[in-house]
Amino acid sequence: MRQTKNTKTLKAIARERLLGKYGTTIAAVVLYRFIAFLMINIITAAIIPTNLITYFAYFGSTILVNLFLGVFDSGLAYLFMNVVYAQSVSMSDLFHGFKNHPDKAILLHVPIAVANTLTIIPLQVLMAMLVKNNNSAVSIDPRYIMFALLISVVMTIANIYIRLMFSQSYYILQDFPEKRTSDILKASMRLMKGSKFRLLLLYLSFIPLALIGVLACFIPLLWVGVYNSASIAAFYQDLIASKNQNTDV
C-alpha cells in the first residue's frame, strides 16, 4: 500500500487536469444547481407545512427530490472522473446517470437523502413553533429552543459523517457498474475507513477560497465549485490506488 497524497497535491492535480475544461465543467455545475434549485423551490411553494399531514408530505417530497438528484450526482461523478483521468468532457456527461443505471444512482442516494431530511426536521419544527408563538400569547420555553438547536447540531454532525462514509459511492458506480447498490455502499465504507478525516480536511481547505468568492460578489464561487469537485475526484483516484483495490473494491 503506497503513501496517500496530501491535500495540497490533490488540489494541484485538480488544477492541472481542469486546464482547458473550466468552461464545460462550470456550465455543467451551474445547470445542475439550477435544476436542483428549481425543483426544491417548486416543492417549497407547493407544500407549505402547517400541520402533521403537510409536514409528512413536505419531508416526503424533499426526500424524493433528493433521490432524483442522485442521478445528476452520478453524472457529475462521471464528469469529474473524466477530468481527473484526462479524458474529454462535455455537457452531456451531466446526464450520464440517466443512461447508466439510474436506478442504482437513486438508491445510492438514499442514506444521504434521509440524513438531509432528518437534519432539517428540528429546525423546521422550531420555526413552526416560533411562528405559532408570534401568533399567540403563549411563550415558548427556552429549553425547547435549546433542545431543538442541540438536536440540529447532532444531526448535522451525523449527516457529515454519513456523507463522508458514502462519499465514494458514485465514483465506484462508474468504475464498477455491475455491482449491486448494497455492495457499492459497502465498498465506499471500506474505502473510507481511516480516510474520513483526510477527506474532511480537503473539504475544509476550500473554506478560505469560498469566503473570498463571497466577498467578490459570488462569481469566483463557480470556479471554486469545480475546483472542489475535481479535487474530490482526485481523492477517489488516489484512494483506489493507495489501497490497491482496483479489482476488488
The three-state DSSP-derived secondary structure of 16-67 is HHHCCCHHHHHHHHHHHHHHHHHHHHHHHHHCCCCCHHHHHHHHHHHHHHHH
Q: Is residue 69 part of a domain?
A: yes
pLDDT at 119: 85
Q: What is the pLDDT of residues 22-43, one digit of tens each?
A: 999 999 999 999 999 998 888 7
The model carries a pTM of: 0.88
| Neighbour-count burial of 13, counting CB atoms closer than 10 A to its CB (0-12 exposed, 13-18 middle, 19+ buried) | buried
> CA nearest 29: which of 174, 236, 222?
222
Based on the structure, what is the number of domains in the chain?
Answer: 1
In a domain, 50, yes or no: yes
> In this structure, is residue 160 part of a structural domain?
yes
> Is 184 domain-assigned?
yes
C-alpha to C-alpha distance for 165 and 199, rounded to whole angstroms: 10
On whether residue 56 sits in a domain, the answer given is: yes
Instruction: Quote the domain boundaries for residue 147.
Output: 21-192
Give the separation between CA 79 and CA 84, rounded to whole angstroms.
Answer: 9
**Residue 243 belongs to a domain:** no
Q: Which residue has the cell 484526462?
A: 86
> Is the model's pLDDT at 139 over the cut of 50?
yes
Instruction: Read off the DSSP letter of residue 91.
Output: G
134 assigned to some structural domain: yes
pLDDT (tens digit per residue) in 176-223: 999 999 999 999 999 999 999 999 999 999 999 999 999 988 888 999
Distance CA 149, CA 144 (A): 9
Assigned domain for 172 exists: yes
Helices (H), 96-220: 96-99, 102-108, 110-134, 142-165, 169-175, 181-192, 196-204, 207-215
Nearest in space to 83 (alpha carbons), one of 247, 235, 185: 235
